[in-house]
Structure 1
Amino acid sequence: MIRSLRLRLAIGASIAIGLVLLVVWLSLSRLFTDYVVGRYRAEMATLVDTIAAQVAVRDGEIVLPREPADPRLNLPAGGRYWQITRDNGAPIRSRSLWDTVIDRDRPSAPHHLGFLEVEGPDGASVLVHQQTLTFGEGPDARRFSVAAGFARGELDDALAAFHSQIRLMLVATAFVLAGAAFLQGAVGLSPLVRLREQAARVRSGEEKDFGSAGPTEVQPLIAEINLLLSEREAALAQARARASDLAHGLKTPLTVIAQLAESLPREERRIALEQVDLVRQRADRQLQAARMGVERMATTSIASLGGKLVNVLRPITAERNVVWEVEIDPSISLDLDPADLAECLGNLLDNAAKWARTRIRLSAEAADGRVRIAVGDDGPGVAEGDREQVLRRGAHGEDTEGNHAASTGLGLAISADIADAYGAVLSLGQSSLGGLEAVLTFDTGGGRRRPRGPA
């Protein structure tokens, strides 16, 4: 199945042009052939009439006292021929026939374009037009036939010359029409190109919808797309509001649970407070995403988003005097949902803020068609054998010093899920600062999000 509209139009135009030019070729060829054959037939009929007008009867025999004056009739194989065939006696012939006799009664004689075809004095074909006439009336009437002919080569050359010229003309016409069809396709499809550019601007967040401009034929499509975008924007706004309401709604119950947990035994209190802190972190992440208000596909600046996330998390580490280092080229960007990227990168920064001792580094670089975002800290890190495990939901690992619970077991798993949904990769390694380094690797253009389960 052909998916390209431009190719479909080109094939359709080529077929139409080919059929039209074929009809033109056949029609013009037929018309010109009929015209040329008619001219030769008229010439031969005139020659027959001229000869018949000169016929006389002497001593009971048909004679021709005076021959036509055309010099081609007096030259052997001169190109014009005549012959009078009598009932009694040898035929009377033009000198151009030399010793050739036109046998009009030969049953197997071929015909060409309505003419009898015979062999001429030079071996070439001669096309003959003949008529049977009667001279006189009553018992003295004499029947005879007059044949006039011409070299078939003349007719063939005339038709060949015409066909050669008309062939060149039709080929030139085909090129002109093909160019016109290509131009028509380009002009006709240009509104779709503009719609594609407008779609790119909508996707990057520069425009909210497709506007109202465009050809009449695509206006219904534009209206439907605008309505779809409007409904999607409303649904996203509602989803953000619900996420924010849910996150805020969890604050009070979590505070109450934390207060009640203070009355529990030490070990149970530690477990309960750890779980409360886990839920609170998740709620904070949703609040941050809701506050940013970026829940649709757009061209996302890594430096801008990273700066916002660092500003949100910096106060959390202020008491420990943690230094934040941000090394991001402002020109680096990704085409994906900023809210997803904010949640993915925010979890990594949140994890670094939790375990860093004095320094956290956020960096991003673009090379070889990929964007590499790295979050490193100088905390205890994660043992190499546990790095795959901590990317799974609910899993914990040991740090490089052998201590348990080097990660929350949720934030990194969520980031890994989001990265996977966009075809990216989240990998863990040893940071140059001494702790854990989490690296997100995206294709330069980002990508469309694939459906994923709820976090």
Structure 2
Amino acid sequence: MIRSLGLRLAAGAVIAIALALSVVWWTLETQFSTYVASRYREEMQAVSDAVAAGLVVRNGQLVIQREPADTRFANPFGGRFWQVSPDGGEPLRSRSLWDTVLPDRSDMQAAYGFSRAEGPEGGPLLVLSQPSMISAGGTAHRFVIHAAFPESEFDAALTDFQNPLRVMLLTMALLLSFAAFLQGFLGLEPLRRLRAHVAAVREGRENRIADYGPSEVQPLVSELNQLLKERENAVERARSRASDLAHGLKTPLTVLAHLAESLPDKERAIALEQVDLILQRAGRQLQAARMGVERMAETPLAVLIRRLVNVFAPVTEERGIVWSIDVDETLVLPMDPADLAEALGNLLDNAAKWTGSHIHVSAEKRGEAAIISVADDGPGIADDDRATILRRGASLGGEGSGHGLGLAIAADIAAAYGGKITLGRSGEGGLLVQMSVSTSGERRPSANPA
């Protein structure tokens, strides 16, 4: 099944053109053939009348005293023939027939009222036969007058008409097909412009679709704008609910943290750790909900990375950590700035926590994806632990190891934008974290975090 609307319209137009021109071909050919046959019948009828006018009866026999004046009858194989076949007598013939005798009855009937007979040169003749009678001395003399011409002459007349007609109709078919394709292309142009506007809205470059185009497209544009308005309202409601939830959790958790201060050291540490864990997971839940409804935007990657590095630099300078950035300045990602900042912030925070002296941040475009790499010279992660650390809540233990949410959050955000997080070993022996993100703007719902 053809899925392209343009190809459907073009195919329908080509089929309609082919059918219409076939009907035109059949009609014109039939009309012309009928016309040519009628002209030959008129000519052969005139020959029969001329022959009949020259017949007389002498001594009880039919004789022709005045033959038709056309010289083609007098020349052997001249191209025009007549013959008079009397009942019970020898036929009278034009000299053009030479020694050929036309039969009284044709074994095979030809079209247009002619019968077919073999001519003096072996070629077929189209014959018009007309019975007639002359009365002389009280006796009726019956006879049949045959007037004939070569069938090849009739076919040549049709061919002379059909060849130019075929060329004309073929040219017309090509012109009409081109016009149909052009009409389909121009007719679908508003839909192509609408697609571009929708893509601009999806990428955050426009807030609504401009009212334009033919009246048939306007209802669709209005419905899309209404849908965008309702979606924007839904985003605002989701933000409000997320903010309310964040404030609603903050107060009771703060109270719990203060109450935990009165607990023994061991129980206090466990309680504060769980409060902190609830805060992080609640924040992740709110982030995931926002990613599900947030409108897509475009974010210059190099600008955002430098901004994040400037945030971490004052803290890492005290440890003598050096940052190096190698990012294509023209690389723009179809991601919400907050989503990208949170994902990269977690990657940079993880690198800053474990590196020894150097962190290298780079980004490049490979095909339809952007690859962002963060490499450090820290202890790295063993191969067997790399899959574990990307699971939410996983931790490798040890002081300052945290709750294992940073890399998991970055992985969820990357997955929401059609990408993923991979872990490896950097050139300096530390951890290499690579985040791939689709540059086509494709998004898919992120998994609901536990």
After TM superposition, the score normalised by the length of structure 2 is: 0.89
Alignment partners' CA distance in 2, 1:304 and 1:175: 55
Alignment partners' CA distance in 2, 1:387 and 1:431: 14
Correspondence list, 1:269-348, <5 A? 269-281=268-280, 295-310=294-309, 325-348=324-347
| Corresponding residue for residue 79 of structure 2 | 79
8 Å CA contact retained: 1:247, 1:284: yes
| Corresponding residue for residue 265 of structure 1 | 264
| Corresponding residue for residue 191 of structure 1 | 190
Q: Secondary structure at the match of 1:249?
A: helix
Q: Secondary structure at the match of 1:179?
A: helix
Matched, 1:31 2:35: no
> 1:441 pairs with 436, 439, 444, which one?
436
Taking a change above 3 Å as real, the CA distance of residues 142 and 393 of structure 1, as seen in their structure-2 partners, is same
8 Å CA contact retained: 2:203, 2:441: no
Matched, 1:418 2:413: yes
Alignment partners' CA distance in 2, 1:252 and 1:314: 32
Matched, 1:51 2:51: yes
Q: 1:199 is matched by which residue type in structure 2? A: V
Displacement of 1:321: 7.8
Q: Secondary structure at the match of 1:239?
A: helix
Displacement of 1:274: 2.4
Taking a change above 3 Å as real, the CA distance of residues 289 and 93 of structure 1, as seen in their structure-2 partners, is closer
Alignment partners' CA distance in 1, 2:426 and 2:251: 38
Matched, 1:363 2:362: yes
Q: 1:304 is matched by which residue type in structure 2? A: V
| Corresponding residue for residue 152 of structure 1 | 151
| Corresponding residue for residue 232 of structure 2 | 233
| Corresponding residue for residue 139 of structure 1 | 138
Q: 1:130 is matched by which residue type in structure 2? A: S
Q: Secondary structure at the match of 1:445?
A: coil
Q: Secondary structure at the match of 1:216?
A: coil
Displacement of 1:257: 2.0
The farther-off stretch of 233-242 and 305-314 is 305-314
Taking a change above 3 Å as real, the CA distance of residues 242 and 357 of structure 1, as seen in their structure-2 partners, is farther
Taking a change above 3 Å as real, the CA distance of residues 260 and 395 of structure 1, as seen in their structure-2 partners, is same
The farther-off stretch of 420-429 and 5-14 is 420-429
Taking a change above 3 Å as real, the CA distance of residues 244 and 137 of structure 1, as seen in their structure-2 partners, is farther
Displacement of 1:414: 2.2
Displacement of 1:2: 1.3
Alignment partners' CA distance in 2, 1:120 and 1:165: 30
Matched, 1:210 2:209: yes
Q: RMSD value over aligned CA atoms?
A: 3.0
Taking a change above 3 Å as real, the CA distance of residues 350 and 273 of structure 1, as seen in their structure-2 partners, is farther
Taking a change above 3 Å as real, the CA distance of residues 368 and 63 of structure 1, as seen in their structure-2 partners, is closer
8 Å CA contact retained: 1:360, 1:378: yes
Displacement of 1:86: 1.5
Matched, 1:96 2:91: no
Q: Secondary structure at the match of 1:217?
A: coil
Deviations 1:79-118 (A, max 9, x none): 1001112224211110011111111135x34334321111
Identical pairs, percent:
54
Displacement of 1:61: 2.4
Displacement of 1:435: 4.9
Alignment partners' CA distance in 2, 1:169 and 1:147: 38
Displacement of 1:261: 1.7
After TM superposition, the score normalised by the length of structure 1 is: 0.88
Taking a change above 3 Å as real, the CA distance of residues 239 and 362 of structure 1, as seen in their structure-2 partners, is farther
Q: 1:126 is matched by which residue type in structure 2? A: L
> 2:403 pairs with 404, 408, 431, which one?
408
Displacement of 1:259: 1.8
- Flag structure 2 segments of 5+ consecutive residues without an equivalent: none
8 Å CA contact retained: 1:243, 1:287: yes
Displacement of 1:305: 3.3
Deviations 1:267-299 (A, max 9, x none): 22222222333344456678999999x921233
8 Å CA contact retained: 1:240, 1:290: no
8 Å CA contact retained: 2:411, 2:420: yes
| Corresponding residue for residue 348 of structure 2 | 349
Alignment partners' CA distance in 2, 1:382 and 1:103: 109
8 Å CA contact retained: 1:128, 1:150: yes
The farther-off stretch of 383-392 and 278-287 is 278-287
Taking a change above 3 Å as real, the CA distance of residues 101 and 431 of structure 1, as seen in their structure-2 partners, is closer
The farther-off stretch of 195-204 and 425-434 is 425-434
Displacement of 1:18: 0.8
